[in-house]
């Protein structure tokens, strides 16, 4: 067996692991990077990149049939699903070189393409190589959950790891799971011509503000998605035409027949192969236990991203990479702060959030909070684009400090950017009210929402009295 001694050993070449490896080696550390699957991990190959590429194709198809408002005759799109799949693969291929073995070896990283397991508290084995490291970083990510539904083993089904290999448009896609992945894939396939039924055991997009999710769900239902909420799946049956999903709703057993099935019911941390017990690392089914410096119960070993059991976003893994590098290389006691982590659901309209929701703010601050709202129908650019469905909601404390912001509407993810900064830096609402927004842009919804904080004061009887008095005295 080959033996290597190194400064940093990174297990997992997803977004977080790659960031640690690239940063550490360029700062002078010796780095070994281990990956048993595809370089780039879930985000590049099965998640963020292919899903957004498929959504983009769906958006273009949708535009064909919805141009009459602009004086353009609508037409039915001719969808070649194999070419749509080729588009998705080409987007992955365009980004792939940034995450490739060749690039990282060019930076000086020793890349080992094999699955890793711990031998002891300082040693990892990958293939025929034994790696002893001063610091070890676990960045193995997560995988889709395949729930124990009776009959599931008898039918073919997709997860996010397989659906982007499909080259045939489903006639009727049944999606189990109404979270972000389920709703995004439902809309993408519906716009590309599939019939879609989405089953959710609770409330679809239930982690977000219900006032905003109502906007998104209405749009998806209007586009023809058959959304069934509070539908608890009981079993799955194979039929001559495909698949039948039996579920309970409103106390009654119901069923839906389709040709294809997608599971989007959550994710689990990738810990099975690691033999963490050999390194004294504690974990649960939610992920590896870490402290606020992302150290495991073995203080020489860090865990980051999805496998650490927190927020499962690529940008969180990227943020964690900086925390790990500061702790592992510079011995700076940097702590992860997740209070201003944003997230976006890339349906159309998008939904974006940072900080506290209105419900969470009321739990923490009671009725002393102020809730500010502004509709996209009051925005001139939204009117020009015929995209007036949308709302921004901002929550402040009694002193005007911004606690959170949520947006549903066109380009919500991009519109959220200044609010991320505001929440992270605990800025007051006046900061957002005073910036000059170019006209006509969607960014004006942020300024108008912020400015509404002062409306009760500025247009009060007291201010009117003062203005009239000043006009008489100095007019």
Mean pLDDT, to the nearest integer, of 3-30?
A: 98
Q: What is the pLDDT of residue 315?
A: 96
Q: What is the pLDDT of residue 475?
A: 67
Question: Do residues 230 and 203 touch, judged by C-beta distance below 8 A?
Answer: yes
Q: What is the pLDDT of residue 209?
A: 96
Mean pLDDT, to the nearest integer, of 414-432?
A: 97
Three-state DSSP at 290 gives coil
Assess whether pLDDT exceeds 90 at residue 459.
no
What residues form the annotated binding site for NAD(+)?
A: 177-184, 200, 266
pLDDT confidence band for 462 (50 / 70 / 90): confident
pLDDT confidence band for 271 (50 / 70 / 90): very high
Assess whether pLDDT exceeds 80 at residue 86.
yes
pLDDT confidence band for 231 (50 / 70 / 90): very high
Q: Where in the chain is the domain with CATH 3.30.390.30?
A: 349-458
Question: Do residues 24 and 7 touch, judged by C-beta distance below 8 A?
Answer: yes
Three-state DSSP at 114 gives coil
Mean pLDDT, to the nearest integer, of 405-420?
A: 98
* Phi, psi angle pair for 236, to nearest 5°: -125, 135
Mean pLDDT, to the nearest integer, of 377-383?
A: 98
Q: Where in the chain is the domain with CATH 3.50.50.60?
A: 2-144+268-330, 152-265
What residues form the annotated binding site for FAD?
A: 52, 140-142, 306
What residues form the annotated binding site?
A: 52, 140-142, 177-184, 200, 266, 306
Question: Do residues 170 and 189 touch, judged by C-beta distance below 8 A?
Answer: yes
Q: Where are the extended beta strands (E) located within 415-473? A: none
According to CATH, what is the number of the domain 2-144+268-330? 3.50.50.60
Q: CATH homologous superfamily of domain 349-458?
A: FAD/NAD-linked reductase, C-terminal dimerisation domain (3.30.390.30)
Give the chain's mean pLDDT: 96
pTM for this prediction: 0.95
Give the model confidence (pLDDT) of 49-74 as tens digits: 999 999 999 999 999 999 999 999 99
152-265 placed in CATH 3.40.1180.10: no
How many Å apart are CA 159 and CA 264, to the nearest integer? 7
Give the model confidence (pLDDT) of 318-337 as tens digits: 999 999 999 999 999 999 99
How far is C-alpha 259 from the chain's CA centre?
28
């Amino acid at each position: 067996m080959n033996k290597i001694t190194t400064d940093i050993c990174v297990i997992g070449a997803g977004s977080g692991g790659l960031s640690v490896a690239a940063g550490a080696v360029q700062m002078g550390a010796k780095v070994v990077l281990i990956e048993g699957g595809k370089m780039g991990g879930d985000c590049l190959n099965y998640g963020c990149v292919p899903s957004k590429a498929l959504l983009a194709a769906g958006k273009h198809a949708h535009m064909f049939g919805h141009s009459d408002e602009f004086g353009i005759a609508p037409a039915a799109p001719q969808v070649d699903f194999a070419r749509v799949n080729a588009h998705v693969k080409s987007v992955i291929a365009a980004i792939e070189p940034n995450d490739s073995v060749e690039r990282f070896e060019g930076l000086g990283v020793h890349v080992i393409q094999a699955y890793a397991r711990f031998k002891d508290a300082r040693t990892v084995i990958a293939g025929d190589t034994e790696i002893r490291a001063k610091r070890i970083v676990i960045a193995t990510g997560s995988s889709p959950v395949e729930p124990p539904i009776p009959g599931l083993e008898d039918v073919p089904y997709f997860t996010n790891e397989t659906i982007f290999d499909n080259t045939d448009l489903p006639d009727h896609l049944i999606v189990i799971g109404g979270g972000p992945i389920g709703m995004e894939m439902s809309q993408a396939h519906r716009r590309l011509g599939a019939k879609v039924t989405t089953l959710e055991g609770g409330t679809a997009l239930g982690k977000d503000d219900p006032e905003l999710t109502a906007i998104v769900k209405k749009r998806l239902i209007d586009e023809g998605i058959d959304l069934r909420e509070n539908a608890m799946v009981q079993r799955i049956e194979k039929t001559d035409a495909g698949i039948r999903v039996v579920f309970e709703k409103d106390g009654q057993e119901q069923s839906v027949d389709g040709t294809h099935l997608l599971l989007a019911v959550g994710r689990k941390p990738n810990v099975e192969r690691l033999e963490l017990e050999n390194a004294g690392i504690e974990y649960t089914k939610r992920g590896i236990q870490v402290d606020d410096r992302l150290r495991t119960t073995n203080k020489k070993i860090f865990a980051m991203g999805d496998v650490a059991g927190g927020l499962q976003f690529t940008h969180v893994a990227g943020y964690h990479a900086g925390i790990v590098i500061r702790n592992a290389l510079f011995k700076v006691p940097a702590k992860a702060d997740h209070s201003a982590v944003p997230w976006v659901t890339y349906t159309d309209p998008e939904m974006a959030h940072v900080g506290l929701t209105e419900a969470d703010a009321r739990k923490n601050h009671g009725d002393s909070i102020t809730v500010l709202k502004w509709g996209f129908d009051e925005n001139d650019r939204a009117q020009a684009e015929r995209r007036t469905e949308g709302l921004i909601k901002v929550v402040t404390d009694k002193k005007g400090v911004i606690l959170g912001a949520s947006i549903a509407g066109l380009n919500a993810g991009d519109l959220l950017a200044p609010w991320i900064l505001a929440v992270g830096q605990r800025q007051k609402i006046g900061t957002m009210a005073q910036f000059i927004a170019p006209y006509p842009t969607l960014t004006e919804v942020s300024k108008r929402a912020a400015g509404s904080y002062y409306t009760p004061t500025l247009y009060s009887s007291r201010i009117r009295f003062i203005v009239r008095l000043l006009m008489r005295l100095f007019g």
